[in-house]
């Protein structure tokens, strides 16, 4: 008999423990196609992918010692999209299904609870879903790409593995880190998110980043940190300035060549201490680029993985009931995940689809929900000629977005702004 449940991977252990009645750690990937979505064909495509993505069609269940993912008996039903992205996923919903497949006009969106997979895994699912949808709808054959898997191919064990265990070492890195400045604002009255999307020409962004001698991720992070420094300077006295840090999730598949479709990212905090002096954008770009270069090596990352994997092997921790583990994990998350950075900048990178799909797919976007106690989050994806920068927030004020996008305009990068609330 096939195994119909999965242990949570190392990164996923945290997410059920820290979710609460109003917040669940989820992310969304959406694609805009050149015609109105046919929900029946989409449902057929979703059904066809069940065998290929068994770890995606799951519900979150609670055991005595650990949570686990129980495979669904059927497949998720496609639904019309909601009034705003990433509406709350309740325990009840997650128990049945951790994935939402949504459509609205010519947009297909996939919303995933983070315990199932990360952005890259989710993107492979969305692109494969689109490929299958187009195959059924237009009876065409679609070739291979790093982001599209054929629904007929068998699932490999490597795709379902918890790669953290394979690429760890015996030297756990310390979790100790200085606290970061936190943005504050007036909470939205209900629990909706305001999403501002900046659309930029990728070539222009690449050119400017190159002029500053860094990658697009480092450049955008530097611009964001500059905006955050200005915000802090306006609100706090100079001697009370805190570090300004941003979390960048690092896709470890590129580093180790893993093929897993489950979580395999590690958050990395980068930033500067504004008390040390003024930073120009060039200084920030240099600093962020060198921090990323220094940290992102297989050895350093293996040590960081070890700090998450080693505690799991502790027998006493293993036999501790889940309810107590959740308390400990919640405290660790608050200390080392929430307080040590202002927000996340998650860059999915350039998405390339097989040539047959390009005429049908117009844009692909990546959206992450704000973290539990932070109020903004930023995600980036590039497809065809454009880069989409999504900043999601749960407060009224849009100061960060205004500063960030205005800076890009000042640097001669034209930005087109879209918003989910007109």
Which residues lie across from 62 on neighbouring strands?
67
For other proteins, the binding residues in 176-195 under the rule CB under 8 A are 194
Give the one residue of 80, 280, 314, 373 binding other proteins; rule: CB under 8 A. 80
Residue 97 or 309 having the CB closest to other proteins:
97
By CB under 8 A, residue 82 contacts other proteins:
yes
By CB under 8 A, residue 317 contacts other proteins:
no
Give the one residue of 88, 160, 185, 300 binding other proteins; rule: CB under 8 A. 88
Closest among 119, 1, 13 to 60, alpha carbons compared:
13
Give the one residue of 96, 156, 211, 406 binding other proteins; rule: CB under 8 A. 406
**Cα–Cα distance, 107 to 81 (Å, whole number):** 9
Question: In the chain, helix, strand, coil percent, each to 5?
Answer: 35, 25, 40
Q: Are 115 and 31 in contact (CB under 8 A)?
A: no
Q: Least distance from C-beta 230 to other proteins, angstroms? A: 15
By CB under 8 A, residue 414 contacts other proteins:
yes
Give the one residue of 4, 20, 90, 96 binding other proteins; rule: CB under 8 A. 90
**Cα–Cα distance, 219 to 209 (Å, whole number):** 6
Q: Least distance from C-beta 398 to other proteins, angstroms? A: 5
* CA distance to 93, 326, 336, 337, per residue, from 331 (Å): 25, 9, 9, 10
Residue 198 or 271 having the CB closest to other proteins:
198
Helices (H), 183-321: 202-211, 216-235, 252-256, 281-295, 298-312, 315-318
By CB under 8 A, residue 59 contacts other proteins:
no
Which residues lie across from 390 on neighbouring strands?
197, 379
**Size of interface with other proteins, in residues (CB under 8 A):** 30
By CB under 8 A, residue 96 contacts other proteins:
no
By CB under 8 A, residue 409 contacts other proteins:
yes
**Cα–Cα distance, 191 to 375 (Å, whole number):** 12
Positions that interact with other proteins (CB under 8 A): 80-85, 87-88, 90, 92, 104, 194, 196, 198, 398, 401-402, 405-406, 409-410, 414-422
């Amino acid at each position: 008999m096939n195994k119909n449940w999965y242990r949570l991977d190392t990164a996923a252990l945290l997410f059920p423990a820290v979710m609460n009645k109003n917040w669940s750690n989820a992310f969304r990937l959406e694609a805009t196609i050149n015609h109105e979505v046919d929900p029946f064909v989409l449902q057929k495509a979703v059904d066809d992918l069940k065998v290929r993505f068994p770890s995606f069609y799951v519900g979150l269940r609670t055991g005595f010692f650990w949570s686990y993912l129980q495979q669904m008996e059927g497949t998720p039903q496609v639904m019309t999209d909601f009034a705003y992205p990433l509406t709350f996923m309740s325990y009840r919903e997650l128990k049945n299904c951790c994935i939402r497949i949504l459509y609205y006009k010519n947009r297909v969106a996939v919303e995933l609870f983070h315990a199932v997979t990360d952005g890259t895994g989710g993107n492979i699912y969305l692109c494969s879903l689109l490929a299958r949808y187009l195959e059924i709808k237009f009876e065409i054959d679609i070739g291979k790409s790093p982001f599209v898997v054929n629904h007929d191919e068998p699932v490999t064990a490597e795709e379902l593995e918890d790669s953290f265990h394979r690429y760890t070492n015996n030297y756990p890195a310390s979790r100790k880190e200085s606290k970061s400045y936190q943005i504050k604002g007036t909470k939205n009255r209900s629990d909706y998110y305001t999403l501002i999307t900046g659309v930029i020409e990728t070539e222009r962004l690449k050119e400017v980043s190159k002029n500053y001698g860094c990658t697009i991720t480092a450049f955008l992070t530097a611009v964001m940190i500059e905006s955050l420094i200005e915000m802090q300077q306006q609100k706090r006295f100079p001697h009370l300035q805190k570090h300004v840090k941003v979390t960048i999730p690092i896709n470890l598949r590129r580093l180790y060549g893993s093929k897993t479709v489950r979580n395999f990212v590690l958050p990395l905090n980068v930033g500067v201490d504004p008390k040390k002096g003024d930073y120009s954008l060039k200084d920030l770009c240099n600093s962020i680029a060198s921090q990323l270069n220094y940290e992102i090596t297989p050895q350093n990352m293996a040590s960081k993985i070890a700090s998450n994997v080693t505690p799991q092997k502790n027998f006493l921790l293993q036999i501790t009931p889940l309810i107590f583990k959740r308390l400990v994990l919640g405290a660790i998350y608050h200390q080392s995940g929430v307080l040590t950075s202002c927000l996340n900048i998650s860059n999915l990178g350039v998405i390339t689809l097989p040539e047959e799909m390009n005429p049908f797919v117009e844009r692909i976007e990546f959206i992450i929900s704000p973290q539990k106690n932070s109020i903004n989050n930023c995600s980036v994806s590039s497809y065809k000629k454009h880069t989409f920068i999504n900043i999601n927030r749960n407060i009224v004020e849009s100061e960060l977005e205004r500063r960030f996008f205005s800076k890009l305009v000042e640097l001669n990068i034209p930005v087109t702004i879209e918003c989910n609330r007109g």
